[in-house]
């Protein structure tokens, strides 16, 4: 893991793998959940990539992730069916072989024994389907494991890129484990907040100098502008605000309100998130 990082210097990304997401057969639930997990720890997601089950495209996507130095979660494609390419693509992106991880092998065999016991059948380790299941533990050489509390079948980590299954019931506790295990030193005891005001009768271009001045005067604070033309409550407006650590947000927000007085605009309700 990278040494002595801070929330300001780490970037967190997400890769969602699977044709079923891009075709609309399934809706992605991982990004909202990861945003929630990060926000509870004072962190935020900076980018997300969606990629289908194309080995070449997936390899290129993962190579960018490994080279970035970012903290990245990759969800999906680590199974052992013909359309699962994430493990193999990760190995190609790293330029290392994929091998059966001994701890993963033990966990998978333990899971197979559990299933046999639950079904009241004998455990047959050399049965072809059981041998095939061991492919779920074939990972890039040198990786470490991510425990799976749901069914023991692990994910894996290489550098700061963390690979988990596509199933939310497995992926979400595994992502949370990664955050707690590797990145607790990044957590902010006071999560970031947002303060904004609804602005009527303004154009973003006219407000840009004020926004730039606030970011310049308040390091660590980000200004956001969310225009809407057909909001069900406010109609055409701009949700204009600042976000960051609470102690930094308040003076930046006061500067925003003071700056808006010089514009011919109408202000609506203030929002805190």
Residue 5 lies in a domain: no
User: What tens digit of pLDDT does each residue of 63-98 get?
Assistant: 999 999 999 999 999 999 999 999 999 999 999 999
Model pLDDT, residue 3: 43
Model pLDDT, residue 193: 87
**CATH assignment of the domain containing 138:** 3.40.980.10
Q: Where residue 188 falls among pLDDT bands split at 50, 70, 90? A: confident
Read off the pLDDT of each residue in 27-56 and give the average, rounded to a whole number.
95
Q: Name the average pLDDT for the chain.
A: 93
Please tell me the distance from the alpha carbon of residue 33 to that of residue 147, in angstroms, as a whole number.
Answer: 19
Task: Say whether both 231 and 119 belong to one domain.
Answer: no
Please tell me the distance from the alpha carbon of residue 192 to that of residue 159, in angstroms, as a whole number.
Answer: 27
Task: Say whether both 245 and 204 belong to one domain.
Answer: yes
Query: Could you tell me which residues come within 8 angstroms of residue 115 by beta carbon, excluding any fewer than 6 positions away?
Result: none
Count of structural domains within the chain: 2
Residue 4 lies in a domain: no
Domain end position, chosen among 159, 186, 213: 186
Task: Say whether both 210 and 123 belong to one domain.
Answer: no
Provide the domain limits for residue 219: 193-272
User: What tens digit of pLDDT does each residue of 245-266 get?
Assistant: 889 999 999 999 999 999 989 9
Task: Say whether both 84 and 160 belong to one domain.
Answer: yes
Task: Say whether both 43 and 136 belong to one domain.
Answer: yes
Read off the pLDDT of each residue in 24-35 and give the average, rounded to a whole number.
96
Residue 1 lies in a domain: no
Domain end position, chosen among 186, 206, 238: 186
Q: Where residue 26 falls among pLDDT bands split at 50, 70, 90? A: very high
Task: Say whether both 238 and 115 belong to one domain.
Answer: no
User: What tens digit of pLDDT does each residue of 115-143 get?
Assistant: 999 999 999 999 999 999 999 999 999 99
**Higher per-residue pLDDT: 2 or 215:** 215
Model pLDDT, residue 2: 43
Task: Say whether both 109 and 244 belong to one domain.
Answer: no
């Amino acid at each position: 893991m990278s040494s002595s990082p801070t929330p300001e210097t780490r970037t967190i990304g997400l890769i969602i793998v699977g044709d079923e997401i891009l075709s609309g057969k399934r809706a992605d639930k991982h990004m909202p959940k990861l945003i929630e997990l990060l926000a509870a720890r004072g962190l935020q997601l900076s980018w997300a990539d969606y990629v289908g089950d194309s080995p070449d495209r997936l390899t290129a996507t993962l190579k960018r992730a490994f080279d970035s130095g970012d903290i990245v979660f990759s969800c999906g494609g680590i199974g052992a069916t013909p359309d699962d390419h994430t493990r193999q693509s990760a190995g190609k992106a790293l330029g290392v072989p994929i091998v059966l991880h001994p701890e993963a092998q033990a966990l998978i065999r333990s899971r197979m024994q559990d299933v046999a016991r639950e079904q009241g059948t004998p455990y047959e380790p050399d049965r072809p389907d059981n041998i095939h299941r061991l492919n779920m533990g074939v990972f890039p050489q040198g990786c470490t494991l991510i425990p799976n509390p749901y069914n023991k079948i692990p994910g894996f980590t290489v550098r700061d890129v963390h690979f988990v299954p596509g199933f939310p019931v497995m992926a979400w506790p595994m992502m949370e484990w990664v955050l707690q295990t590797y990145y607790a030193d990044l957590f902010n005891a006071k999560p970031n907040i947002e303060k904004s005001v609804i602005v009527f009768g303004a154009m973003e271009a006219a407000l840009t100098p004020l926004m730039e001045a606030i970011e310049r005067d308040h390091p660590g604070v980000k200004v956001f502008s969310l225009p809407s033309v057909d909001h069900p409550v406010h109609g055409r407006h701009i949700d204009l605000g600042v976000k960051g650590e609470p102690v930094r947000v308040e003076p930046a927000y006061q500067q925003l309100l003071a700056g808006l007085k010089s514009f011919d605009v109408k202000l609506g309700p203030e929002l805190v998130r």
